[in-house]
Structure 1
Amino acid sequence: MNEDLIVENIDLAENLFSKNYSAFIKEKPRTVTIEDEVFALYSFEKMIALTTINIMQVSEVRALKAYANTLKDILGPTIYDQKGKGWSMLMLSASIIIGSNTEGDLLFIDRHDGKTLYIFRHDDGSLFKTKMTLYKLIKAYSVALSLITYCISY
Structure 2
Amino acid sequence: MGQRYGLEIRAASATDAQGVAALMADLGLGSVEPGLMAGRLDALIRAGGSALIAVEWGPPSGLIALQIVHDLTAARPAGFIATLAVAPDARRRGIGRLLVKAVSRSARLAGCDRLLLPPGDAEAGLAEFASATGFVPEGGLFVRPLLRRGGREE
Q: TM-score, normalised by structure 1?
A: 0.29
Q: TM-score, normalised by structure 2?
A: 0.29
Structure (1 or 2) with the larger CA radius of gyration? 1
Larger fraction in helix: 1
